[in-house]
Chain A
Amino acid sequence: MKHSLLSSAAERLYWLGRYIERAENTARLIMVNAGLLMEMPARLPLGWRPLIDITDTAKRFDSLYAEATERNVCRFLTCDSRHSSAITNALAAARENARTVRETMPRVTFEYINDLHDFAHSELTPNPSRVKRRAALNGLSLRVQRLEGFLSQNMLHDAPWQFLRLGNHIERADMTTRIIDVRTADLLPPGHGLAPFQEIQWRSVLISLFARQSYHATISAVVQRPLVLEFLLSNLDLPRSYAYCLEAIRRGIRSLPRNSKSLGACNRALHDLQAANVGELEGATLHRFIDNCQTRLGELHTAMQETWFRGG
């Protein structure tokens, strides 16, 4: 493997991976939430606020909007130019990064990223009909998958590829833990007589992570908290589980030079996961556990930055 990838290029590839993943995750969140709300009884105040919590953007959102309505939240997350993590802005940043690392990827990659960017900018509008919004988000998701499929099948799986994937996986691990955190916190307390809806909500957590069918294929029991948590945090075959992401990150790190610091940080995250009895986490203990995951991911990012991006 050609180990002497430019530090600045490594950093841009990493962020490119993160931005693309972020855009797709956001699209998926909105689609899943819309589907979830259609099946919820009207008196449950679930609404759209959780998406702001999941994306950890409350401060910015509240400075721009008075109310977390469907319209406001969707606009904020998809195409609000004032919000740096809106899909359109994430993809604009991805495109800028891609432009500066063109030489490290198959040339045609830029066409896919460019197309993705142009599609988002033309199709994501402030106040679309629900049908149109779904079509746009779904189109976006398909384009991301085309890009990732193309890269996985055609790009040399050397250092530039590894940094792209590290970006994907760190973003994804971050999103998975946030979704679990927010979605379990806004779940109904036990014993209020709305059990069927509680199941719907756990199902929505699975759907949010594209894991519903996989759950049923793996676990022959109804959807319930301990099994869902174990599945989403610890299952090593589920591509969006926290454990899977960490293992993928670990493999990536191991293939790179000067990896001891980053490998250490990744191992600490894995160790904390293994040490926790995730099926039994609930309420405050679950929240604390997720907080710790976020801290570990932050340390991992810092370690990568110190050795590979700022190094020399």
Chain B
Amino acid sequence: MGKVAIDWKQYDATASWDELVTPAGRARSGAGPLLRVLSRLTDAELTERQAAAELAIRSMGITFTVYSGEDASGIDRAWPFDIVPRLIRKREWDRISRGLKQRVRALNAFIDDVYHGQRALRDGVVPARYVRKSKEFRQRCVGIDPPHGVWAHVCGTDLVRDRDGALYVLEDNLRVPSGVSYMLENRAIMKRVFPELFDDYVIHPVDDYPQRLAACLRSLAPQSRSSPRVVVLTPGIHNSAYFEHTYLASVMGADLVEGTDLTVGKDDCVYMKTIAGRVRVDVIYRRIDDLFLDPSVFNPNSMLGVPGLMRAWQAGKVALANAPGCGVADDKVIYTFVPDLVRYFLNEEPILANVPSYRCVEKESRDYVLDNLDKLVVKPANESGGYGMLMGPGACAKERTAFARAVRANPRNYMAQPMLTLSSAPTLVGPPGSDQRMQPRHLDLRPFILSGAETYVTMGGLTRVAMKKGSMVVNSSQGGGSKDTWVVDLDP
């Protein structure tokens, strides 16, 4: 006790690109003041801060739900949080932010094109069979004109850095991306438990997101409506992101509704049941998947949706965010075409790079993938949450054989990428007490991009961190943690 806990010279930052520490054990540009404050803390103090953070999380009720075999309703877990923030320089962030806007503009143009002229398919930018065979393509959306021509109003794009420091887009989550409430709460926790860290930096605030989201959603309301009513549609308390649904509803001043609270009238308008009777709803920020939205159209067994909702949306009487069918661009095979889509629709060079990818449906690529399964990550087109992937280098021969069979049987459903070594940052690990150590842990970053009448990118995003040594799996459902993300002004 009492000794200086962190000797940065002992911190091994050579195995990956570390966001705060150089391979020689020095502070990366801008990280100096942060590392100095951390170095001054004793073991006991570090443990105390981490405990304070955990207490704050418990008392604020920041949870996520994990599904497990034994308990069908899921278990509420405290949100995992690490007290060391991740830094991004404002100048770099500005470039990333421009890149994200560009990317989402191209994706929206592509989705709109898929449901209208299909120009990009006819011109061969994306072979038509990829779209037609996509599980996320919805015939019912053909010809629909959502406001502003925007389909993906809320996008969560995952960014990673490889071991040389180069930044890549890993995937674009366009269906119902979650995590933004944790980004906001991480900042609130950090202010509570580490106020002195804020003295040395000009940190850009993140808390305007809810108002931007509310404005974005209001901009989608049918034009005749002067003060639009916005609601958040949740599948209910057992959903893993329920905390986020309640959070966003409360900070936006929107109503949190479940399917049973809504009805569609003969006039094709959507109404919610209130103490004053039926009240018309103009915009639904839906946090349930397409196929559960409307049991009269999609899954007839869905208890989560609202019968007639698709009819109301098609008639333009209600806006749905994100629009049904937008998942057609949230497909890991379509992902491989995004740089081409940026060039095709925007006539610009992509600012952000994709991870080099192999489409298994193309014979040459497939042969390469099958020959190199031990070096690649193979991903199914339509899974999320890190499920159903093969992490080649770590997999056993049996898993690889099973995947080879799956890829041959349905090549359209798979793509592969080289195994990146995700960048890392110092993370407090180990059991509380003297065994706690700062060690590098791999991380990614999920910024959120809003598109309505205007486009907006969060200042930074949600940094997710793999808490297990060497692990690249950052998903909270699989033991990942998170960090506060600071976009800092260092350049005069």
Chain A residues at the B interface, C-beta cutoff of 8 Å: 3-10, 96, 99-105, 107, 110-111, 114-115, 118, 159, 256-258, 307-308, 311-312
- A5:B251 contact, CB within 8 angstroms: no
- Give the size of the chain B interface in residues (CB under 8 angstroms): 31
- A4:B250 contact, CB within 8 angstroms: no
Given known A-B contacts A100-B256, A103-B246, A257-B275, A6 and B261 have beta carbons under 8 A apart? yes
- A312:B277 contact, CB within 8 angstroms: yes
A115: chain B residues within 8 A (beta carbon): 59
Partner of A258, one of B229, B263, B276: B276
The chain B residue with its CB closest to the CB of A100 is: B237
User: Is B410 in the interface zone, CB < 8 Å from A?
Assistant: no
* Complex alpha-carbon distance, A261 and B205, angstroms: 49
- B250:A8 contact, CB within 8 angstroms: no
Partner of B276, one of A3, A102, A110: A3
The chain A residue with its CB closest to the CB of B248 is: A103
The chain A residue with its CB closest to the CB of B236 is: A100
Given known A-B contacts A8-B261, A9-B255, A96-B237, A114 and B61 have beta carbons under 8 A apart? yes
Q: How far in angstroms is the closest Cβ of chain B from A4?
A: 4
- A4:B279 contact, CB within 8 angstroms: yes
User: Is B260 in the interface zone, CB < 8 Å from A?
Assistant: yes
The chain A residue with its CB closest to the CB of B234 is: A100
B254: chain A residues within 8 A (beta carbon): 103
- B261:A99 contact, CB within 8 angstroms: no
B279: chain A residues within 8 A (beta carbon): 4
The chain A residue with its CB closest to the CB of B59 is: A111
Given known A-B contacts A99-B237, A99-B246, A115-B59, A7 and B273 have beta carbons under 8 A apart? yes
Partner of B61, one of A6, A8, A110, A256: A110
User: Is B353 in the interface zone, CB < 8 Å from A?
Assistant: no
B253: chain A residues within 8 A (beta carbon): 103
B276: chain A residues within 8 A (beta carbon): 3-5, 257-258
Q: How far in angstroms is the closest Cβ of chain A from B78?
A: 11
Q: How far in angstroms is the closest Cβ of chain B from A9?
A: 7
Given known A-B contacts A111-B60, A115-B59, A7 and B274 have beta carbons under 8 A apart? yes
The chain A residue with its CB closest to the CB of B263 is: A312
Interface string of B100-114 (1 = CB under 8 A from A): 000000000000000
B257: chain A residues within 8 A (beta carbon): 6, 8
Count chain B CB atoms within 10 A of each CB in A5, A103, A111, A118 and give the residue with the most: A103
A4: chain B residues within 8 A (beta carbon): 229, 272, 274-276, 279
- B277:A311 contact, CB within 8 angstroms: yes
A258: chain B residues within 8 A (beta carbon): 275-277
A114: chain B residues within 8 A (beta carbon): 58-61
Interface string of B235-274 (1 = CB under 8 A from A): 0010000100011011101111110110100000001111
Interface string of B57-77 (1 = CB under 8 A from A): 011110000000000000000
List of 9 A-B pairs having minimum Cβ-Cβ separation, nearest first: A312-B273, A103-B250, A103-B249, A102-B246, A257-B276, A4-B274, A4-B279, A3-B276, A308-B275
Q: How far in angstroms is the closest Cβ of chain B from A257?
A: 4
B405: chain A residues within 8 A (beta carbon): none
Given known A-B contacts A7-B261, A111-B60, A114-B59, A102 and B247 have beta carbons under 8 A apart? yes
A and B contact pairs by CB, cutoff 8 A, 27 listed: A3-B274, A3-B276, A4-B229, A4-B274, A4-B276, A6-B255, A6-B256, A6-B257, A7-B273, A7-B274, A8-B261, A101-B256, A102-B246, A102-B250, A103-B246, A103-B255, A104-B250, A111-B59, A111-B61, A114-B58, A257-B275, A258-B275, A258-B276, A311-B273, A311-B275, A312-B263, A312-B271
User: Is B278 in the interface zone, CB < 8 Å from A?
Assistant: yes
Count chain A CB atoms within 10 A of each CB in B61, B254, B274, B278 and give the residue with the most: B274
A111: chain B residues within 8 A (beta carbon): 59-61
Interface string of B401-414 (1 = CB under 8 A from A): 00000000000000
- B275:A8 contact, CB within 8 angstroms: no
- B275:A7 contact, CB within 8 angstroms: yes
B residues 436-468 with Cβ under 8 Å of A?
none
B246: chain A residues within 8 A (beta carbon): 99-100, 102-103
Q: How far in angstroms is the closest Cβ of chain B from A160?
A: 10
